[in-house]
Structure 1
């Protein structure tokens, strides 16, 4: 489990294709605190640490992950949002995040608004994922609050701190992002359909 509060940015230093898998090596300021078999969220995707060397560590993404997230689009020198799994007993500053991406979305608009930046995203409504006005959404691993909720799009307002300290700083229109919809909303939606 994660909270969607990004600890740091990591830099992709190597990508190695291995059959249908992709091994990603990341340079990070938290590498010295990691251990093999630990879960780390990368742009909101929970991946297991399989190797550590100096200030770099390696994780592996399988075909399922590559098909359903933006992990396969990463390139060497790309910055990624990193978060280690939450500790039991810590404050839950964001919201409950599983690290299981529901689908990808596309950034359709970026607008500066007197101290905040509003990002708008479009997603596929056929997958029955929903957003709720003032509900939670995770975008590339960042816990955010939904505004302008529609059937296939929504917006979020980013404060300057979040913009500066996450990969949102490098996000452009038409970029693909990982979306994890609110876990409670997913269960309620599923129950109401039965």
Structure 2
């Protein structure tokens, strides 16, 4: 489980096709240590460390992961991702509950300047996921916990403060780019419960 409070950026250094998926190597900031078997969210996708040496971690991404997320299209050397290590018992939950199970791919449709160094984004999600987005609710975009400011159909608006733009890979995303989208898990459980109450 994760909080959506991104720790920083990691850069793809190598991509290798494999049987039923691919192996990807990300370079992490100097001084960060990962253990084999540890769970790490990269752009909101929960992945398991296969190998870690000299700041570079290797992960296996299955065909299912590549098909459900943006990773099947965007991963190449130089690509920058958000990373967050899994929560431990006793950690603060400053964002919201993020599982690392991406629901689908969203698209960044508009970027506007907002406030003193901030940005306002308009994001489009697939029609079938729009029902999970609520004004003042939470969503995860590329693993980042964000508050929805407004909703219209399958589009919604969020605002990014300068700190978020500086620390996370959202600071290098541009109009038209794809984003991994995870709905608030509470919305999914409520929907499932309502099905049994009909």
Partner Cα distance (1:171, 1:142) in 2: 13
Which aligned pairs between 1:29-68 and structure 2 lie closer than 5 A? 29=29, 32-68=32-68
2:110 matched to 1:109? yes
User: How far off its partner does 1:189 sit?
Assistant: 2.2
User: Using a 3 Å threshold, how does the CA distance of structure 1 residues 112 and 128 change in structure 2: closer, same or farther?
Assistant: closer
* Structure 1 partner of 2:191: 189
* Structure 1 partner of 2:3: 3
State the Cα deviation string for residues 30-74 of structure 1 (Å, max 9, x = none).
775211111000000000000112111100100000001011221
Out of 148, 151, 163, the residue aligned to residue 150 of structure 2 is: 148
Partner Cα distance (2:156, 2:130) in 1: 14
Check the 8 A contact 1:140/1:179 in 2, yes or no.
Answer: yes
* Structure 2 partner of 1:83: 84
TM-score (norm 1): 0.95
* Structure 2 partner of 1:123: 125
User: How far off its partner does 1:13 sit?
Assistant: 0.5
Out of 161, 172, 175, the residue aligned to residue 173 of structure 1 is: 175
Please give the secondary structure, in 1, of the residue aligned with 2:152: coil
User: How far off its partner does 1:151 sit?
Assistant: 3.2
Check the 8 A contact 2:70/2:105 in 1, yes or no.
Answer: yes
State the Cα deviation string for residues 48-107 of structure 1 (Å, max 9, x = none).
000112111100100000001011221101111000001111110111000000010111
User: Using a 3 Å threshold, how does the CA distance of structure 1 residues 31 and 70 change in structure 2: closer, same or farther?
Assistant: farther
* Structure 2 partner of 1:136: 138
> Unpaired runs of 5+ in structure 1?
none
Partner Cα distance (1:78, 1:124) in 2: 24
Runs in 1 of length 4+ with deviation above 3 angstroms? none
Partner Cα distance (1:193, 1:179) in 2: 23
Check the 8 A contact 2:130/2:154 in 1, yes or no.
Answer: no
TM-score (norm 2): 0.93
Please give the secondary structure, in 1, of the residue aligned with 2:164: helix
Partner Cα distance (1:62, 1:85) in 2: 20
User: Using a 3 Å threshold, how does the CA distance of structure 1 residues 30 and 125 change in structure 2: closer, same or farther?
Assistant: farther
> What root-mean-square deviation, in Å, do the aligned CA atoms of Structure 1 and Structure 2 show?
1.4
